[in-house]
């Protein structure tokens, strides 16, 4: 399940995910979460597609599972300029999709702007962007071989490839850390209901999100 809001609005806190492992092959990262082994090469390995939502083992702690979106593949040049994503020297297309409320990890809400982002190749997804953020401007980096650049769709609340591992982020993610591709939601429950009386908990079920695809 999703414990934090780094992938809003695509994924909400409390969503339960269905991820498939075979698209990227198998490595030590494919083992059950409780089993932590040193990184290995991949069997039947394949790179993700640009725009895939992926489950990864956090480089700083392989026992932690995070969810991010693949933004850059080996050889791509990735940069943030004034809050906008640039890939290979071109600004990624953004279309305004109105105002929204982003849930914080503490259960509160903050205003956000919602945009449709179109990656090279045509993959479209929604993102949240609020005000100015320390990650709005980054140096251009070239994704090295056997790595990917990942980001959260909630651009103001995501420790991703813009943040070095030494500072709690993902850094440039080794493909060996890929666990699988997120394909669908199997359920969703508002985790904020846990602090309310037990008999009100069923009202936190988000039935409209049950058995829906993730893109």
The answer to whether residue 68 is catalytic is yes
Torsion of CA 54, 171, 151, 147, to 10 degrees: -50
* Residue of 30, 68, 158, 188 marked active site: 68
CA dist 59 and 70 (Å) reads 16
Judged on CB neighbours under 10 Å (0-12, 13-18, 19+), 145 is exposed
Alpha carbon 36 to its chain's center: 22
* Residue of 6, 27, 30, 161 marked active site: 6
* Three-state DSSP state, 42: coil
The answer to whether residue 6 is catalytic is yes
Picking from 67, 7, 13, 55, the residue whose alpha carbon sits closest to that of residue 188 is 13
Give catalytic residue positions: 6, 68
């Amino acid at each position: 399940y999703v414990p934090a809001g780094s992938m809003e609005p695509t994924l909400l806190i409390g969503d339960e995910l269905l991820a498939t492992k075979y698209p990227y092959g198998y490595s030590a990262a494919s083992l059950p979460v409780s089993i932590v082994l040193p990184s290995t090469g991949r069997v039947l390995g394949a790179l993700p597609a640009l725009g895939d939502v992926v489950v990864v083992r956090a480089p700083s702690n392989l026992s932690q599972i995070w969810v991010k979106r693949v933004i850059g593949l080996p050889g791509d040049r990735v940069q943030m300029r004034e809050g906008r994503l640039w890939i290979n020297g071109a600004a990624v297309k953004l279309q305004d999709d109105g105002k929204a409320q982003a849930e914080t990890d503490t259960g509160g809400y903050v205003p956000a702007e919602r945009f449709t982002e179109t990656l090279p190749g045509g993959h479209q997804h929604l993102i949240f962007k609020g005000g100015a953020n320390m990650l709005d401007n980054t140096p251009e980096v070239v994704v090295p071989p056997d790595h990917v650049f990942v980001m959260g769709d909630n651009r103001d609340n995501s420790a991703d490839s813009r943040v070095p591992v030494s500072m709690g982020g993902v850094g440039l993610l080794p493909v060996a850390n890929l666990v699988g591709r997120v394909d669908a939601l199997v359920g969703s429950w508002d985790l904020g209901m846990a602090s309310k009386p037990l008999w009100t908990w069923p009202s936190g079920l988000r039935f409209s999100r049950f058995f829906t695809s993730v893109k």
